[in-house]
Structure 1
Amino acid sequence: MDSRLKNTLKTLKLNEDTISTLLGAIVVVVIGLLVFNYFRSLNPQGQITDQAALEDDGQTATPGQVKLVEEEDGQMVPEGLPTTYTVKQGDHLWSIAESFYNSGYNWTDIASVNHLDNPGQIEVGQQLTIPKVAVKVATVSQEQTTNNTIEGNTYTVVKGDHLWDIALRAYGDGFRWTDIYQANQDLIGPNPGLIEVDMNLTIPR
């Protein structure tokens, strides 16, 4: 009996290094799993995803899943706003506004609240505040746009105009509103969403 006990203890002593190695490997694996689970909540640029941020804030709105609620004044406002959004590759204010408001026309609200000097240039990784404002609707129909093409080098603003509509009528491409804004920035000021009736805009060609 004593002989068996001695042999067992001797075997355990001989394998002490192996046992220590196995225990160390188990600890490393557990730590690795914990680290992996943590970084799964981060995007490739190391920014916490919008979904994770919204969950932390107790909010429910996410891009592309807009739920509108009616305010006391009858306006429709997206649920879960205000929030923040991290700019991704290929984003522009129009597409971001469409994601959060179901209306690209709300890009002016995003530009205004973030004090963007040049709304046509936003950078990947940039944090934008998405304000709680009513959903904007188009004030110029496609038929009106087609029938009111802008052909000259200048244009006088009328009631209901937006730079997007003006660019669409001048170039057939609404995304070129940034060209008009840049050419008239001194006149318009820091907020491209605020253009005034009778303002005489240069239309670069």
Structure 2
Amino acid sequence: MNNFRKYFSESTLSLILGVLVVLVLGLVAYKIFKGRNVVPTELTQKVTEVSTPSGELTSPTASVALPVEHTVTAGETLWSIAQRYYRSGYNWVDISKANGIKNGNKIAVGQKLTIPEVSVRKPVAVSSQVKVTPVVKSSAISTEKYTVLKGDSLWSVSVRAYGDGFRWKEIASANKLVNPRLIHAGNVLTIPRP
């Protein structure tokens, strides 16, 4: 060991050991994830069918009489199996429930799954109309006393009293507040006037 230290400094040894650790971890990660289908191709395809908001579920379009038993093959996911039988990957949830699968990512090659007879799930179109709710503007504070309402902050009170949120410090000082961030509904604040 001492001969080895003659040729390499401590920082060089640390660098070499660090590189070895990174290489070993990289190889282990490669072995673990090597053949795993991370994102099913069905998820990357554009959704072209959208049902009306009143009909979230439609009848099955598959030509196979359900229920049926399916044996999982390499590369299959619950999504791809649902695509095959229902022409909708969203039915993977029904397959999972029918087979008592708690984690949909953990199905094994050769595993037998019951494909239940259920309605086909389709994505529901989201309305592009946005509801606009009017903002109720708080009235200006013109009195020297103000009762705090739920949702008030010193900043909002200062804006309503002075038209300037940065003057909240004046209100905090006039009321000898220990913690200016903490005011409660029902508190009566003195609003200093020039």
TM-score range (shorter-chain normalised) is: 0.3 to 0.5
Q: Indicate the structure (1 or 2) with the bigger Cα radius of gyration.
A: 2
Q: Which has the higher helix share?
A: 1
